[in-house]
């Protein structure tokens, strides 16, 4: 009896050993399962659907560029969550987050732009999301200092070697597209661009002039003759300040989509004195989108360094309600996009999309979605500008 039990135990052990040896031999003969190489890992796990993944703009790779100045890129998305310079509705500090979320359906594997004949996410440009500037919500003087320093640091970033040494001048210097934030963020951006390019032209899409003298806002507490008053820094005066600091090219800058009420006709006269050309919102009905775009290009020129500044309130609040100072009677989203497509020859060296205040948006996130699409069009224009002539795809002019 004892011998039988021992024999059975030994037989079982032998079978287990034999099975293990055969299993190891069979495994050794099998091809490695997908995932053993970096390429396999990227193929399996390196893609997000529109509804998955961490919320960066268009699922772009994320680097905190201000902490890692050694990182090279051609175009960077940067958030400026600041809104304590608004004159009406606050909330644009949440704009960068909302625009990124609304850009989720933009992916590199389905990013081809038929009107331009290219996929901006798969061409020559290394595009990344640099995250947000951590801006103080308590002290506007400190906030301006933080933004100015951040933009200045990033303005000195380096493009990847193959583009920094390219014969294509547009590729040599990295570009930033900022997600605001209220419109006052344009001032620290212009200060930074001035250190690299000197004075730049501004192509400004907005319902409002944003060149108002700060003293036009009534306050018995402010010295109207003191240009250093902190209260002079608002989202309606930053271009006035920029003009006084000689950051903007005179007689080269353009407003488009204007339809605001004025304090008096003197507002337009002040704007004239600062050297701006105005294109009213109604002009698109009389001229058409193609003529509006052509007027901008003809006035600015295709070699002039341009800062493209897009206030979402240029779109009618019926389509983009989530903004700080809504003005009824604006352009449609389609009209703005068509004009942007028509100015793709401009030498855009920096851009912003501002004044998205998501607390006032609809459940369909229409304002944030419009801003995300505008971002895609701006990126497309930048990438197209940097394409070599021999690789450019001829496409039908939709305008």
Q: Is the dihedral of CA 147, 149, 154, 156 positive or negative?
A: positive
Q: What is the phi/psi pair of residue 311, to 5°?
A: -85, 125
Q: Is the peptide bond before 100 cis (omega within 30 degrees of 0)?
A: no
Q: How far apart are CA 104 and CA 364, in angstroms?
A: 14
Task: List C-alpha distances in Å: 190 to 144, 171, 194, 266, 348.
Answer: 12, 20, 6, 25, 13
Inter-helix orientation angle 333-342/289-300, to 10° = 40
Q: How far apart are CA 92 and CA 110, in angstroms?
A: 29
Q: How far apart are CA 65 and CA 78, in angstroms?
A: 9
Q: What is the phi/psi pair of residue 66, to 5°?
A: -70, -25
Beta strands in 185-300 (DSSP E): 201-205, 253-258, 276-280
206 annotated among ligand-binding-site residues: yes
208 annotated among ligand-binding-site residues: yes
Q: How far apart are CA 388 and CA 118, in angstroms?
A: 12
Q: How far apart are CA 275 and CA 254, in angstroms?
A: 9
Helix (H) or strand (E) holding 60: none
Cβ distance 299 to 332 under 8 Å? Answer: no
Q: Which of 229, 225, 234, 273 is nearest to 251 (CA)?
A: 273
Q: How far apart are CA 100 and CA 199, in angstroms?
A: 30
Q: How far apart are CA 101 and CA 367, in angstroms?
A: 12
DSSP 8-state symbol, 113: B
Binding site as annotated, residues for Mn(2+)? 183, 206, 208, 210, 311, 313
Binding site as annotated, residues? 183, 206, 208, 210, 311, 313
């Amino acid at each position: 009896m004892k011998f039988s039990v021992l024999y059975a135990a030994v037989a079982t052990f032998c079978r287990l050993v034999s099975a293990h040896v055969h299993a190891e031999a069979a495994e050794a003969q099998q091809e490695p399962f997908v995932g053993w190489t970096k390429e396999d890992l990227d193929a399996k796990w390196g893609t997000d659907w529109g509804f998955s993944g961490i919320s960066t703009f268009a699922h772009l790779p994320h680097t905190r560029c201000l902490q890692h100045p050694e990182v090279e890129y051609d175009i960077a998305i940067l958030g400026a969550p600041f809104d304590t310079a608004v004159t009406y509705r606050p909330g644009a500090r949440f704009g960068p987050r909302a625009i990124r979320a609304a850009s989720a359906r933009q992916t590199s594997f389905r990013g081809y732009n038929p009107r331009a004949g290219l996929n901006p996410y798969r061409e020559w440009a290394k595009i990344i999301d640099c995250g947000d500037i951590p801006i103080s919500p308590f002290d506007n003087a400190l906030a301006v200092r933080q933004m100015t320093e951040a933009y200045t640091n990033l303005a000195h970033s380096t493009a990847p070697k193959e583009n920094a040494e390219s014969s294509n001048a547009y590729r040599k210097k990295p570009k930033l597209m900022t997600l605001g934030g209220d419109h006052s963020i344009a001032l620290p951006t212009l200060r930074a661009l001035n250190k690299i390019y000197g004075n730049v032209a501004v192509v400004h899409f907005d319902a409002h002039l944003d060149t108002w003298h700060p003293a036009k806002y009534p306050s018995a507490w402010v010295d109207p003759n003191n240009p250093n008053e902190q209260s002079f820094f608002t989202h309606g005066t930053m271009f006035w300040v920029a003009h006084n600091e000689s950051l903007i090219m005179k007689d080269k800058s353009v407003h488009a989509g204007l339809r605001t009420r004025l304090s008096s006709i003197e507002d337009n006269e002040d704007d004239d004195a600062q050297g701006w050309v105005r294109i009213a919102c109604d002009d698109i009905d009389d001229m058409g989108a193609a003529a509006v775009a052509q007027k901008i290009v003809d006035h600015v020129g295709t070699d002039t360094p341009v800062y493209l500044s897009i206030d979402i309130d240029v779109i009618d609040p019926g389509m983009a309600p989530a903004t700080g100072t809504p003005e009824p009677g604006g352009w449609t989203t389609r009209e703005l996009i068509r004009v942007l497509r028509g100015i793709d020859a401009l030498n855009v060296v920096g851009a912003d999309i501002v004044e998205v205040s998501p607390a006032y948006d609809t459940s369909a996130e229409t304002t944030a979605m419009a801003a995300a699409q505008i971002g895609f069009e701006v990126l497309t224009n930048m990438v197209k500008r940097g394409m070599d002539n021999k690789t450019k795809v001829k496409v039908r002019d939709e305008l």
